[in-house]
Homo-oligomer: A and B are copies of this chain.
């Protein structure tokens, strides 16, 4: 199920130029921000000239879109699966697991459009991501009545996302992947538990 994120081809030790540039751009966008990253920086980081960057990607915006596009695709899949299985309680469990996996796999992309999603409206990929996230909150929050329940949902998902994002900012020791994954699932599930209890009992 988990296909490689970047080029499936490129059998040799050297990635394709597009993939190298894309990777460098994504890292810069996530750490320095879209506005704070120049094409020259991306080119330097990737080992190409600025002109080469613009040869492979028609514009800076197109580069951003290509960088976060796959993550948005994956998120859409996760959420469409959620919509189908909305009512069951174990569906929630499954969703939490898939969502955490999504966060773990697309850290940089999530970092990019979580921190700058609002300031980059107009770029198609960003708009799509915002729409998907908006759909998630509304579809999930539709059944939530009290303020605490809504906040609980926001803190759980936002907190999980932010934790992964912040963990690369600070000098946090890097936890083992599997341990971090299961711990996050536990925490988020626990945060969402009162919501599920209410819906299954009431």
**Which residues of chain B have C-beta atoms less than 8 A from A169's C-beta?**
117-118
Selected contact of A119 from candidates B32, B151, B176, B184, CB within 8 Å: B32
- Answer whether residue A160 sits at the interface, using C-beta atoms and an 8 A cutoff: yes
For A180, list chain B residues within 8 Å (CB).
Answer: 147, 151
Copies in the complex: 2
Which of A8-16, A33-41, A50-58, A64-72 lines the interface with chain B? A33-41
CA distance in complex: A117, B151 (Å): 25
Residue A78, interface by CB 8 Å: no
Interface residues on A, range: 35 or more
A183 within 8 A of B: yes
Pick 23 A–B contacts, CB within 8 A, sort by A. A32-B119, A34-B36, A35-B35, A35-B36, A36-B36, A115-B116, A118-B169, A133-B170, A146-B183, A147-B175, A148-B183, A148-B186, A151-B163, A151-B175, A151-B180, A151-B184, A155-B155, A155-B156, A155-B163, A155-B188, A159-B162, A159-B163, A191-B191
Residues of A whose CB lies within 8 Å of any CB of B are 31-36, 115-119, 133-134, 137, 146-148, 150-152, 154-156, 158-163, 166-167, 169-172, 175-176, 179-180, 183-184, 186-188, 191
